[in-house]
Chain A
Amino acid sequence: MSGTQLDAGAVSALQGALAAEHAALWSYTLILAFVPADQAAVARTDIIAHRTLRSQIEQTLTDVGARPVSAQPAYTTPVPVTDVLSAGRLAVTAEADALGAWRSVLEHTTNVQLRAAAFKALAEGTARAARWRLATGTTPVIPSLPGITR
């Protein structure tokens, strides 16, 4: 394992975050097909944020000698996406899954810089999730404990 700078737990948690980012990106592509222009603009901004996180994780995993997990060709949505509301709810779910994964990264490393990056993703993701929760009437708009409570 020479060449590895993160322990197995941290690498595994990062792979989990990468899988969640892949799923979120796939979800937003589907969401774009169902939401009106104003929400599509928000979705595109969110896609940019998730792409940035995805590439940061992939680069980090590669740098520590781990092979980044690949995206699945398709994902199963909790409920069929057929309209604006179900599309918005998929965004809520995708963001909640990503928040859980980033919280797990936070809990699986003592590396101060990785913790800072994971917290940044958790905090920014909480704000991102809040917009979709508001749009879909999901309460609370800001959960008490993002990454745990939904």
Chain B
Amino acid sequence: MSPVGVAPRLSRRRALVLLGAAVPALAACSTSAADAGPDPLIPLAERARTDVALVTAAITADPGLTGVLDPLRSARVDHADALQKEIDRLAGATTPTAAPQAAAPSGAADMAAVRQAVDAAAREATGLIGGLPVERVGLVGSVAACCSAYATVLGSPA
């Protein structure tokens, strides 16, 4: 990682517009993505699979939600697949890992639970953006932008 810093000789007055617009949640991030340790994408993939199960249960409980929630379910399926593919790539798996099935949601599977889940998914993915290597940040940024847009469309968690 070679962070490209703002040159100290730039005066504050001429602070770079885009470079000075740090989102606090991102600024607090670690930039050490190459550390040994569990792949930080694993919780994102797990959360995507859990969300698929939650949204499926919410639709089963109230089929009237299908029109609103089915696109979200498709998106989270895509996220789980894309994230797992990247996890497998980095792990050097020659054959893709069979994605574990997410357990059925333990709590209520309703619109409030879905709102809360998609909001949490957006936050979790956004929190990784500052520290991921360049070849992974686009994927996670897209996942975060998608979840963030759904969080806006579905409204704030109750």
Listed in ascending order, the chain A residues whose CB lies under 8 Å from chain B are 3, 5-7, 10, 14, 55-57, 59-60, 63-64, 99, 103-104, 106-120, 122-123, 125-127, 130, 139-149
The 9 closest A-B pairs by CB, nearest first: A144-B78, A145-B142, A116-B26, A117-B18, A116-B23, A59-B17, A107-B138, A60-B18, A56-B17
| Given A116-B23, A146-B145, A60:B4 Cβ within 8 A | no
| CB of B71 closer than 8 Å to a CB of A | yes
Contacts of A119 in B (CB 8 A): 23, 26, 126, 129, 141, 144-145
The dominant DSSP class at the B interface is: helix
Q: How many A-B residue pairs have CB under 8 A?
A: 159
Within 26-83 of B, Cβ neighbours of A (below 8 Å) are at: 26-27, 29, 31, 71, 74-75, 78-79, 82
Contact between chains at A145 and B4 (CB < 8 Å): no
How many residues of B are in contact with the other chain, CB < 8 A? 47
Q: How far is the CA of A33 from the CA of B75 in the complex (A)?
A: 34
Map CB proximity to A onto B1-31 as digits: 1 under 8 Å, 0 otherwise: 1111111001000101111111100110101
The CA of A147 and the CA of B86, in the complex, are separated in Å by 17
Cβ contact within 8 Å between A56 and B29: no
Tell me if B149 is interfacial: C-beta within 8 Å of chain A. Answer: yes
Q: Chain B contacts of A110 at CB under 8 A?
A: 1-4, 31, 134
Chain A residue at smallest Cβ distance from B30: A112
- Contacts A111-B3, A111-B5, A117-B21 known; A144 to B135 CB distance under 8 Å? no
Which residues on the A side are within 8 Å of B78 (C-beta)? Answer: 144-145, 149
- Whether A120 lies near B21 (C-beta < 8 A) is yes
Residues of chain B with a CB closer than 8 A to A126's CB: 145-146, 148-149
Chain A residues, Cβ within 8 Å of B29: 112
Q: Is the interface of A mostly helix, strand, loop or mixed?
A: helix
**A104–B29 alpha-carbon span in the complex (Å):** 20
A116–B21 contact, CB under 8 A?
Answer: yes
What residues on B are CB-neighbors of A141 within 8 Å? 71, 153
A139 to B74, CA, bound (A): 12
State whether the Cβ of B120 lies closer than 8 Å to any Cβ in chain A. no
Give the chain B neighbours of A127 by CB distance below 8 A: 148-149, 152
**Cα A147 to Cα B74 with chains together (Å):** 17
Q: How far is the CA of A141 from the CA of B7 in the complex (A)?
A: 41
Residues from 96 to 147 in B contacting A, C-beta threshold 8 Å: 126, 129-131, 134-135, 137-139, 141-146
A60→B138 contact, CB < 8 A: no
What residues of chain B lie closer than 8 Å to A116, measured between beta carbons? 21-23, 26-27, 129-130
Kindly provide the distance from the CB of A51 to the nearest chain B CB, expressed in whole angstroms.
Answer: 13
Bound CA–CA A110/B136 (angstroms): 11
* Residue contact B18 to A112, C-beta cutoff 8 Å: no
